[in-house]
Amino acid sequence: MPAKESFETFDGCKTRVMRGGSGPPLLFLHGAAGAGIWLPFMEQLSRRFDVIVPEHPGFGGSETPDWLDNVGDLAYFYLDVIEQLRLDGVHLVGTSLGGWIAAELAVRSCARLKSLVLSAPAGIHVKGLRKGDVFMWSPEETARRLYHDQTLAEAALQRTTLEADQVTPMKNRLTMAKLAWQPRLHNPHLRKWLHRICVPALILWGDKDQLLPPQYGAAFAQAIPAARLEVIADCGHLPQIERADMWVAKIVAFAEEVGS
């Protein structure tokens, strides 16, 4: 069943929201490319959860509010979203930029969370461990480096060439730069507060991630008290696309383990 799309206003920001499925609430926070369509992994998750996919302020169909300055603002925004939607026992899932937002949210409050899944999140820096730089990569290099399977990279490049809408990707890139240009892809203060996350946490990472190497996953898992790291073989930065069946299965099994 296709998801329903609506526009809701949170904190004065008109926000595009996709929602589908039934079961415990699962709030999915997307990465830097936005949340343009209801993707196959969202459909798979909706067979088990009430999946809620807002498009971040500043991205895609959502407005860009005056108050948006940093990732911490989005963390507080999503705490307000959870409250306004009257969600409780939330399975919070974030990938890449969305994982960073999810981590920032969880260090502020886990009161309404049941579990936390961080999929290759940005947000921290490990001294001596080099990250990729999406701000310096060309669109072609970005696609090739985000995927381990180059057939998927080719398909992504072909879609980009055919897309008529070039305004949305530009909007997304501008907001991403505002949030993560400096310091590059991290908050220098986040890592020291990850110990405040007090719900079970699952860290998922592709073993061939060229943007954020899987050693970053180990750093997250070490800093979050009730966390474990699972590395997905032969996979780049986007396991929700590249290894969707396995990625979804791990999230479902984790939710059952913590008592969804």
What pLDDT does residue 160 have? 77
pLDDT at 163 over 80: no
Domain that holds residue 153: 4-258
pLDDT at 90 over 90: yes
DSSP bridge pairs for 18: 5, 53
Q: What is the pTM of this model?
A: 0.97
The mean predicted confidence, pLDDT, of the chain is 96
Kindly state the average pLDDT of the residues 196-218: 98
What pLDDT does residue 2 have? 78
What pLDDT, in 10s, does the model give residues 220-256? Answer: 999 999 999 999 999 999 999 999 999 999 999 999 9
pLDDT at 196 over 80: yes
Kindly state the average pLDDT of the residues 157-179: 86
Determine the residue type at 31: G
What pLDDT does residue 46 have? 98
CATH number where 47 lies: 3.40.50.1820
What pLDDT does residue 166 have? 82
Residue 217 CA: distances (Å) to CA of 44, 102, 204, 237, 253: 24, 15, 7, 12, 19
Residue 96 region by backbone torsions, left for phi larger than 0, else alpha for psi between -120 and 50, else beta: left
What pLDDT does residue 5 have? 97
Residue 208 CA: distances (Å) to CA of 57, 132, 149, 154, 241: 30, 12, 10, 17, 14
pLDDT at 17 over 90: yes
pLDDT at 260 over 90: no
pLDDT at 162 over 80: no
- Number of domains forming the structure of the chain: 1
Q: Residue 202's CB: how many other CB atoms inside 10 A? A: 25
What pLDDT, in 10s, does the model give residues 95-135? Answer: 999 999 999 999 999 999 999 999 999 999 999 999 999 99
What pLDDT does residue 136 have? 95
